[in-house]
Amino acid sequence: MAKPLTQVTAILTVSASILTAALIPASASPPLDTVETILHATPASIIDSAIPMRFNQDGTEASDINELVTLEEGLGGRTTAELPGKTGVSISLPVDYSETQHATPGSKTISWEDGNGVVFTPLVTREGDVQVNTIIPDANAPHSYSYEIDIPSNAQVVQAGDAHLFIGADGSLLAGLAPPWATDANGKAIPTRFEIEGKTVTQIIDFNEATVFPVVADPFLGKNLFSSIGSKYGKYYGVNTNVVTLNLSAWGWAVYINNVSIVGFASGQYVLNDLGWKEALAKGGKVKALLLSKPSMRQQFSCHALGAPFAGTWELETFRKNRTRSWTYGVGIHRCNWVTADGK
């Protein structure tokens, strides 16, 4: 049984390029090569790192070449994708599977075009997260696009800044929607927001006659805050040590920066510090053992999540001393690489 998304059980609030895109003529949808040109010129699109997509031979379904995510005809004829890993989370696009389909041999993208010339291009990450790039051709197109989201009946919906997260009965992150975004052909941000009613998530995009088209917008449905979590052994800072390494995924990064507002970013920090820690522990094996081996490992994790957002790869070393003074002291100097228990 699907869970209505209006059942929000917690709202987390924390006080706290000019692009070069080919323009689409009025009332005309873009050919596939132009779709890729537009998306490559859209910074928030994940096309540069996405897995190539393809239709099967008879066109009854489509998937990424790694077969992580399959798109097929769902209820009501809608184009529907389910996240991998038995999450029970799926998204239905606001376009029928039988609508006009676009695919070119050797192309990275596939698309569906609706009767208004709006093109929907789903992109899949190597972790199996799905970003639906919606390309709006002109001011005559609709301002709102509704997506049906199914989640398990025992899941909770938590709002964190502008992100919406689906939390399992055990407190782990099942999946979620990153904060919405929309940009015009010149890279200017267009005001946008999600409205939720029942299982329906509607993205509202406030373009007007003065907007430079095409406009690109998304919902980004994902489940992996990190693209990789692992361990290694080597010499760091002159000391032989075990190290846990973590890299944010594209979806995790979108949730983390949370539209770069003060409240949104603080909410993203919370998500990484809490749900990110649970995701890391769920890796199990040596990673989990190292993370729980001493307080310093949790302290380093929190330091990266809350105090070093642009650190790149997170490296947590077991040789670091347990802090007796908060890691926040001197963080601008030690940058989560402290050498003493109470100083910098």
**What local confidence, expressed as pLDDT, does residue 32 receive?**
52
**What local confidence, expressed as pLDDT, does residue 262 receive?**
44
Residues of the chain with pLDDT > 70, as a percent, come to 88
Residues pairing with 70 in the sheet: 63
Average pLDDT score over residue span 202-209 = 96
**What local confidence, expressed as pLDDT, does residue 311 receive?**
76
Give the pLDDT confidence of 7-60 residue by residue, as tens digits.
443 333 332 322 233 333 333 455 555 889 999 999 899 999 999 999 988 889
Tokens encoding 344: 């910098």
Give the pLDDT confidence of 153-175 residue by residue, as tens digits.
999 888 998 999 999 988 889 99
Tokens encoding 272: 């990484």
Tokens encoding 343: 């100083």
Give the pLDDT confidence of 253-280 residue by residue, as tens digits.
999 987 655 455 678 888 999 999 999 9
Sign (positive or negative) of CA dihedral 325, 331, 336, 338: negative
Neighbours of 218 (CB within 10 A): 28
The full DSSP string for 89-158 is: -EEEEEEETTSEEEE-TT-S-EEEE-TTS-EEEEEE-TTS-EEEEEEE-STTS-SEEEEEEE--TT-EEE
Q: What is the DSSP letter of 232?
A: E
- Peptide bond connecting 214 to the previous residue in cis, omega within 30 degrees of 0: yes
Neighbours of 235 (CB within 10 A): 8
Lowest mean pLDDT among 9-23, 76-90, 219-233: 9-23
Sign (positive or negative) of CA dihedral 180, 184, 190, 194: negative
Average pLDDT score over residue span 209-229 = 95
**What local confidence, expressed as pLDDT, does residue 305 receive?**
93
Give the pLDDT confidence of 92-147 residue by residue, as tens digits.
999 999 999 988 777 789 999 999 999 999 999 999 999 999 999 999 999 999 99
**What local confidence, expressed as pLDDT, does residue 7 receive?**
43
Higher-pLDDT residue of 108 and 191 is: 191
